[in-house]
Structure 1
Amino acid sequence: MKTQPPAPTHVLLRYLSGVLFNRVMFSSAILVGLMEILALLEQTTPILQRHLGVAGILTYAGMRLPFLMSGALPLGVLIGALLMLTQMTLASEMAILQASGLSMWGLYKRLVPATLLVGALGIVLDDQVTPRSEQALAAWWNRTDPHPEDGHAFWFHEGGRLAHVRYVADGGNMLAHLDLYTRTPEGLLQETLHAERADYTHAHGWQLHAITRVQIDQQKAQRLPAEDSMPWQTTLHPWDFIRLSAENPPLSSGTIIGMLRGRLPSDSSSGFLQAGLLERFLRPAAMMVLLLLAMPVIYIPPRTGTRSWVPVWCLGAGLLFIIAQGLLRAMGNAGLLPPPVATIPGLIIFTLGAVTALLRNEAK
Structure 2
Amino acid sequence: MIRRRYLSRMFLGRLLAALLGLAALIQLLDLLDRASEVLHRGGLLDLVRYAGLRLPSVLGQMVPLAVLIAGMLTLRRLAMTLEMTALRAAGIPVRRVLVMLLPACAMAAVAQALLLGVVAPRTERALAAWWARTESRALVPDKKTQRVWLRAGSQIIGIDRVSLDGTQLQGVLLVPRSADALALARIEAESAEHTSAGWMLRGVRVAEPSGAVLARQALRPWPEGPPPAEILDVARPTDAQEPWWLLRALRREKAVDRGPAFYQTRLHTMAARLLGPFVMLLLAAVVAFDVPRRGSSMARSLLALSLGLGFMLLSGLLGALGEAGVMPAALAVWTAPILFAAIGGSLLIRFEEQ
- TM-score relative to the length of structure 2: 0.91
Structure 1 residues 241-288: Cα deviation after superposition (integer angstroms, max 9, x where no partner): 232124563221111111111111111121111111111112121211
Offset, 1:39: 1.3
Among residues 194, 200, 204, which one is paired with 1:212 in the alignment? 204
Structure-2 change in CA distance of 1:235 and 1:131 (3 Å): farther
Percent identity, please.
29
Among residues 243, 254, 261, which one is paired with 1:271 in the alignment? 261
CA distance in 1, matches of 2:211, 2:71: 68
Offset, 1:323: 0.5
CA distance in 2, matches of 1:225, 1:345: 54
Structure 1 residues 34-81: Cα deviation after superposition (integer angstroms, max 9, x where no partner): 11111111221112223x111211111111111111111111111111
Partner of 1:264: helix, strand, or coil? Answer: coil
Q: Is 1:341 aligned to 2:335, yes or no?
A: no
CA distance in 1, matches of 2:50, 2:89: 52
CA distance in 2, matches of 1:304, 1:168: 66
Aligned pairs for 1:107-256 within 5 A: 107-146=97-136, 147=141, 149-200=143-194, 203=196, 206-209=199-202, 211-216=203-208, 221-227=212-218, 229-234=219-224, 236-247=226-237, 249-256=239-246
CA distance in 2, matches of 1:350, 1:220: 55
Structure 1 residues 143-165: Cα deviation after superposition (integer angstroms, max 9, x where no partner): 11114543332311101111012
Q: Does the CA contact (< 8 Å) of 1:329 and 1:343 recur in 2?
A: yes
CA distance in 1, matches of 2:296, 2:171: 63
Q: Does the CA contact (< 8 Å) of 2:124 and 2:238 recur in 1?
A: no
Q: Does the CA contact (< 8 Å) of 1:214 and 1:224 recur in 2?
A: yes
- Which one-letter code corresponds to 2:166 in the other structure? G
- Which one-letter code corresponds to 2:204 in the other structure? T
Structure-2 change in CA distance of 1:220 and 1:353 (3 Å): closer
Structure-2 change in CA distance of 1:150 and 1:87 (3 Å): farther
Among residues 6, 10, 25, which one is paired with 1:19 in the alignment? 10
* Alignment-derived partner of residue 32 in structure 1: 23
Structure-2 change in CA distance of 1:80 and 1:172 (3 Å): farther
Structure-2 change in CA distance of 1:167 and 1:28 (3 Å): farther
Partner of 2:317: helix, strand, or coil? Answer: helix
Structure-2 change in CA distance of 1:18 and 1:205 (3 Å): farther
Offset, 1:171: 4.8
Q: Does the CA contact (< 8 Å) of 2:200 and 2:220 recur in 1?
A: yes
Kindly report the root-mean-square deviation, in angstroms, between the aligned alpha carbons of the 2 structures. 2.2
Structure-2 change in CA distance of 1:94 and 1:165 (3 Å): same
CA distance in 2, matches of 1:178, 1:249: 26
Q: Does the CA contact (< 8 Å) of 1:118 and 1:284 recur in 2?
A: no
Structure 1 residues 122-179: Cα deviation after superposition (integer angstroms, max 9, x where no partner): 1112211111111111111111111454333231110111101223342534433221
Q: Does the CA contact (< 8 Å) of 2:207 and 2:213 recur in 1?
A: yes
- Which one-letter code corresponds to 2:121 in the other structure? P
CA distance in 1, matches of 2:55, 2:168: 28
What 5-or-longer segments of structure 2 have no aligned partner?
A: none
Structure 1 residues 218-242: Cα deviation after superposition (integer angstroms, max 9, x where no partner): x894432241x55543563443223
- Which one-letter code corresponds to 1:153 in the other structure? R
Aligned pairs for 1:40-59 within 5 A: 40-50=31-41, 52-59=42-49
Aligned residues: 350
Aligned pairs for 1:278-357 within 5 A: 278-304=268-294, 307-357=297-347
Offset, 1:27: 0.7
- TM-score relative to the length of structure 1: 0.89
CA distance in 2, matches of 1:225, 1:102: 82
Partner of 1:279: helix, strand, or coil? Answer: helix
Partner of 1:267: helix, strand, or coil? Answer: coil
What 5-or-longer segments of structure 1 have no aligned partner?
A: 1-9
* Alignment-derived partner of residue 4 in structure 1: none
Partner of 1:152: helix, strand, or coil? Answer: coil
